[in-house]
């Protein structure tokens, strides 16, 4: 059985970061769609229904947490795993993200390519395996 290519939407206001993440993850066989800012991100997520969302928190149009809440509030998108990718790296933010908002993972900028790939692989493989 052939593995389907996993689609990832990266919502980020810095085009250079989108390009970098696209480069890293496309080399690992992922299809990465960049969305510049929260509004564009929500539009693309609603249209594409990706396998995973990478989400920056600090964006000028819609803050990342607002984007996250909208993803979780909608029936068609609430199942999509979200990894927060942010320079806002204080411990309290990580605790809020992982334990209160229940994001799937949290990566602090700057990050290594290995850290990004490991997080994506871990989250995408988190889907519960059906026991025989």
Tokens encoding 67 = 């984007």
As a whole number of angstroms, the distance between CA 6 and CA 80 comes to 12
At 132 the pLDDT is 34
Q: Report yes or no on whether pTM surpasses 0.75.
A: yes
- Give the torsion through C-alpha atoms of 82, 83, 89, 92, to 10 deg: 50
> Which residue has tokens 């990718």?
85
Q: Of 3.90.1150.10, 3.40.50.2300, 3.30.70.2740, 3.20.20.70, which CATH number belongs to 7-124?
A: 3.40.50.2300
Of the candidates 1, 40, 13, 9, the one whose C-alpha atom is nearest the C-alpha of residue 109 is 13
Strands of the sheet with 82-86, listed across from one edge: 31-36, 7-12, 52-55, 82-86, 105-108
Summarize pLDDT for 2-21 with one digit per residue, the tens: 568 999 999 999 999 999 99
Cα four-point dihedral sign 9, 14, 15, 20: negative
- Domain ranges in the chain are 7-124
Summarize pLDDT for 57-90 with one digit per residue, the tens: 889 999 898 999 999 999 999 999 999 998 865 5
Alpha helix stretches (DSSP H) within 36-90? 38-48, 64-73
């Amino acid at each position: 059985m052939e593995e389907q290519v996993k689609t990832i939407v990266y919502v980020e206001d810095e085009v250079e970061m989108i390009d970098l993440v696209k480069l890293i993850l496309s080399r690992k066989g992922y299809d990465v769609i960049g969305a510049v800012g929260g509004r564009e991100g929500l539009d693309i997520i609603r249209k594409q229904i990706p396998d995973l969302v990478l989400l920056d928190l600090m964006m000028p149009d819609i803050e990342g947490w607002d984007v996250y809440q909208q993803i979780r509030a909608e029936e068609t998108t609430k199942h999509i795993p979200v990894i927060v990718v942010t320079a806002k790296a204080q411990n309290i933010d990580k605790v809020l993200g992982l334990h209160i908002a229940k994001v799937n993972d949290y990566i602090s900028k700057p990050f290594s390519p290995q850290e990004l790939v490991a997080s994506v692989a871990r989250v995408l493989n988190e889907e519960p395996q059906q026991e025989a």
